C-alpha cells in the first residue's frame, strides 16, 4: 500500500475520492500481472504471415489431388473478407432473433427459405437452422424424431454414416442395422422382416440420401410403403433424411427421386461445406414447425427458445452459404451438379476401358473401384478406402485433366503392386457386384482379352 500513497502524493490532486482510490489499486494489480508474463512477447505480423504463406503453399499442393472426399474446393469468398473484422454469433432460434445484435440471422433465414423451397415445404410450416455440419443436422433430426416417439427404435442401413451409430449411443436409443443392396441403398426386404419383428414399438428411420461410400440412395417411397405394409400408421414412424451431399444435388437432376416434404418425412439435413463449398464446416437442417412447437412446449421457458443443439453458432457460415446460393443461382447449381455427374461417368468409363473394376450409381458422382495396393498412392490422391474398395468423389474442383493424370499414374504404378508383374485383381464382387468385378473368379477373361490386344 506504500506505493498507493506514493502515487497519490505525487500525481493526484490532494483530495482523492474513494472511487478513484479503488481504480488506482486495480491498475496496480494489473501491473503485477504484467510482470508475471513479461517473458512471452508476441511474434511480428511478418513472421506469422510467412508461416501462414508456407501453409497455404502446402494446401494448394493438396487440393490439386483431392479426389477422395466430398468437399467442394472450388470457391471464392474474397468479397466477404471484411466480415473477418467481426465476431458474429447466431445463438438461439434464427426465427426469433437474438438480443446479441452482431448476428446474421437475417441471412440465415434467407438460406433456410431457399432450402425449404427446394425440398418443398411452405415457409409457415417449417423450422430449421444452419448447423456446424451434417452430423449436427443428424443429431437434431433424430432428436426431434425421438421426442415425437420417445420409445421408438432407430433403424438405419449398415452403410449409414458413422455419426448415426454414435448418435444412437449418445441418445441411448435402441438401433437396428438394416442390410443394403450392392448399390448401397437400404434393403427393404430386410427392413420389412425387421419391422415386423418389432411392430410393438414406433419406428424412427434414418434414410441415406446418398451414402458416404457408394452414393447409394435409399428409396423413400419404398420405405414408406414397407412401413404401411407392416402396419405402421403415420403417427407411428418418423423419417429423418441424411442428405449430406446428394440432398443438395438430387433436386437439380431431372428424373432423380426428389426429396420433398410432400412425402411423410420429418427432417432433412445436408452439409453446407460439401456440395456448395465453404471455408468453414457448416450444414442445414429443416424439419416441420409443428415438431419444434411440440419440443418447446415440453420444456421450460428458456429452453423454448433453445431448440438448437449448440448454443453459440457461427454467424459467418450463413453468410457464406447465402453468398454461394445467390452467386450461383438455381441454374448455376444445376450446371455444377451436371458437370460433376458427367465427369464421374468419364472416370468410370476410363477405368473400365483399361480393365479396372468400377461402379457408379445412377445420379451419383462417386466412383467406386478396387483399392490401390499402395499406401503412398492412396495418400497422394487423398483416396478414401474401405475393405477392398476405394472411391473418388468427383466434385467441382475435380477436372478432366486431374482425372486423366490420376488414371495415367494409376496405370503406371499398378503393375508394380502385383508381385512378379503377375496381375491378380482383388475380388470386389461383394462390394460392387460380380458383373463389375474382374478377379480370377469373375470376368477375368474379359481382362485377359483386353490386355492381350
Ligand atoms: C459427410 C457426411 C455426414 C457428416 O457431415 P459433416 O458435415 O461432416 O458433419 C453425414 N452423413 C453422410 C451421408 C455424409 O456423407
Domain boundaries, the chain: 2-36, 78-327, 333-452
Confidence of residue 14 (pLDDT cuts 50, 70, 90): very low
**Over 60: is that where the pLDDT of 12 sits?**
no
Q: Which of 135, 215, 277, 395 to mutate to test the pocket of ligand 1 (most atoms within 8 A of CB)?
A: 135
Q: Take atom 10 of ligand 1 and give the residue whose Cα is closest.
A: 134
Check: CB of residue 271 under 8 Å from CB of residue 237.
no
pLDDT single digits (tens) 397-419? 999 999 999 999 999 998 888 87
* Catalytic-role residue among 364, 405, 408, 434: 364
Of 416 and 178, more confident: 178
pLDDT digits (tens, 9 = 90+) for 238-278: 999 999 999 999 999 999 998 999 999 999 999 999 999 99
User: How large is the average pLDDT for residues 413-431?
Assistant: 79
Instruction: Provide the edge-to-edge strand list for the sheet that holds 267-271.
Output: 126-131, 283-288, 267-271, 237-242, 203-208, 153-157, 175-178
pLDDT confidence bin for 34, thresholds 50/70/90: low
Sign of CA dihedral 347, 350, 354, 359: positive
Q: Is the pLDDT of residue 297 over 50?
A: no
Q: What is the mean pLDDT of residues 313-337?
A: 97
Nearest alpha carbon, ligand 1 atom 5 = 134
Residue 386 pLDDT greater than 70, yes or no: yes
The residue nearest atom 1 of ligand 1, judged by CA position, is 244
Give the CA radius of gyration of the chain.
Answer: 28
197 Cα: distance to centroid of ligand 1 (angstroms): 30
Atom of ligand 1 lying closest to residue 210 CA: 13
Residue 361 CA to ligand 1 center (angstroms) comes to 19
Fold of 333-452: 3.90.1150
pLDDT classification of 11: cutoffs 50, 70, 90: very low
Annotation says 157 is catalytic: no
CA–centroid distance, residue 286 to ligand 1 (Å): 15
| Whether pLDDT at 299 is above 50 | no
Residue 70 CA to ligand 1 center (angstroms) comes to: 9
pLDDT number for residue 10: 45
Does residue 25 register a pLDDT over 70? no
Q: Using a 6 Å CB cutoff, which residues line ligand 1?
A: 133-135, 161, 163, 208, 211-212, 242, 244-245, 271, 281, 283
Segment 281-309 mean pLDDT: 75
Overall average pLDDT of the 342-356 stretch: 94
* pLDDT above 60 for 341: yes
Contact 156, 178 (CB under 8 A): yes
pTM: 0.88
Query: Whose CA is closest to atom 2 on ligand 1?
Result: 244
Q: Is the pLDDT of residue 9 over 50?
A: no
pLDDT in tens, 41-89: 899 999 999 999 999 999 998 878 899 999 999 999 999 999 999 999 9
In this structure, the residue with its CA closest to atom 4 of ligand 1 is 134
Among the listed ranges 2-6, 189-193, 310-314, which one has the minimum average pLDDT value?
2-6
pLDDT score recorded for residue 316: 98
Query: What pLDDT band is residue 433 in, cutting at 50, 70 and 90?
Result: confident
> In CATH terms, is domain 78-327 a member of 3.40.640.10?
yes
Compute the distance between CA of residue 358 and CA of residue 377 in angstroms, rounded to an integer.
18
pLDDT surpasses 70 at 7? no
Q: Which of 130, 132, 133 to mutate to test the pocket of ligand 1 (most atoms within 8 A of CB)?
A: 133
Q: What is the pLDDT of residues 74-132, one digit of tens each?
A: 999 999 999 999 999 998 899 988 777 899 999 999 999 999 999 999 999 999 999 99
Phi-psi bin for 451: left (phi > 0), alpha (psi -120 to 50), beta? Answer: alpha
Whether the predicted pLDDT of 288 surpasses 90: yes
CA 215 / ligand 1 centre spacing (Å)? 12
pLDDT for res 162:
97
- Gap between the Cα atoms of 137 and 272, Å rounded: 11
pLDDT at position 302: 34
Is the pLDDT assigned to residue 361 strictly greater than 70? Answer: yes
Query: 126: closest CA among 236, 7, 284?
Result: 284
Cell, residue 125: 410450416
Asked whether the predicted pLDDT for residue 228 surpasses 80, the reply is: yes
Ligand 1 centroid – CA 252 distance (Å): 20
- Position 305 scores a pLDDT of 62
Average pLDDT of the segment spanning 221-235: 98
Amino acid at each position: 500500500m506504500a506505493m498507493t500513497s506514493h502515487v497519490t502524493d505525487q500525481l493526484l490532486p490532494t483530495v482523492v475520492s474513494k472511487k478513484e482510490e479503488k481504480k488506482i489499486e486495480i491498475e496496480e494489480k494489473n501491473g503485477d500481472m504484467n510482470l508475471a508474463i513479461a517473458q512471452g512477447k508476441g511474434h511480428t505480423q511478418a513472421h506469422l504471415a510467412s508461416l501462414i504463406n508456407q501453409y497455404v503453399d502446402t494446401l494448394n499442393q493438396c487440393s490439386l489431388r483431392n479426389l477422395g472426399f466430398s468437399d467442394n474446393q472450388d470457391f471464392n469468398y474474397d468479397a466477404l473478407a471484411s466480415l473477418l473484422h467481426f465476431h458474429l454469433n447466431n445463438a438461439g432460434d434464427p426465427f426469433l432473433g437474438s438480443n446479441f445484435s452482431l448476428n446474421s440471422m437475417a441471412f440465415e433465414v434467407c438460406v433456410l427459405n431457399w432450402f425449404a423451397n427446394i425440398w418443398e415445404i411452405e415457409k409457415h410450416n417449417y423450422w430449421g437452422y444452419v448447423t456446424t455440419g451434417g452430423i449436427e443436422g443428424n443429431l437434431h433430426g433424430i432428436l426431434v424424431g425421438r421426442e415425437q416417439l420417445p420409445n421408438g427404435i432407430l433403424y438405419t442401413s449398415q452403410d449409414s454414416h458413422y455419426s448415426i451409430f454414435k448418435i444412437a449411443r449418445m441418445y441411448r436409443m435402441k438401433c437396428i442395422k438394416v442390410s443394403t443392396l450392392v448399390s448401397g441403398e437400404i434393403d427393404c426386404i430386410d427392413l420389412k422382416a425387421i419391422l415386423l419383428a418389432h411392430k410393438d414399438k414406433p419406428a424412427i428411420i434414418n434414410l441415406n440420401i446418398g451414402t458416404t461410400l457408394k452414393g447409394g440412395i435409399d428409396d423413400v417411397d419404398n420405405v414408406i410403403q414397407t412401413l404401411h405394409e407392416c402396419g405402421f400408421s403415420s403417427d407411428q414412424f418418423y423419417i429423418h433424411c441424411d442428405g449430406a451431399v446428394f440432398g443438395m444435388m438430387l433436386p437439380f437432376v431431372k428424373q432423380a427421386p426428389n426429396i420433398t416434404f410432400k412425402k411423410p418425412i420429418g427432417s432433412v439435413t445436408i452439409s453446407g461445406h460439401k456440395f456448395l463449398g465453404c471455408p468453414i464446416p457448416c450444414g442445414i437442417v429443416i424439419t416441420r414447425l409443428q415438431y419444434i412447437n411440440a419440443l418447446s412446449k415440453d420444456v421450460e421457458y428458456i429452453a423454448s427458445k433453445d431448440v438448437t443443439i449448440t448454443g453459440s453458432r457461427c454467424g459467418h457460415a450463413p453468410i457464406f452459404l447465402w453468398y454461394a446460393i445467390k452467386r450461383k443461382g438455381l441454374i448455376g447449381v444445376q450446371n455444377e451438379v451436371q458437370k460433376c455427374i458427367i465427369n464421374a461417368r468419364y472416370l468410370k468409363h476410363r477405368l473400365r476401358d483399361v480393365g479396372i473394376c468400377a461402379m457408379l450409381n445412377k445420379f451419383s458422382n462417386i466412383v467406386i473401384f478396387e483399392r490401390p495396393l499402395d499406401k503412398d498412392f492412396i495418400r497422394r490422391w487423398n483416396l478414401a478406402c474401405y475393405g477392398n474398395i476405394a472411391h473418388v468423389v468427383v466434385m467441382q474442383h475435380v477436372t478432366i485433366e486431374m482425372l486423366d493424370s490420376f488414371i495415367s499414374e494409376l496405370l503406371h504404378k499398378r503393375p508394380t503392386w502385383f508381385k512378379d508383374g503377375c496381375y491378380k485383381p482383388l475380388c470386389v464382387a461383394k462390394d460392387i457386384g460380380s458383373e463389375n468385378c474382374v478377379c480370377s473368379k469373375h470376368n477375368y477373361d474379359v481382362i485377359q482379352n483386353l490386355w492381350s490386344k
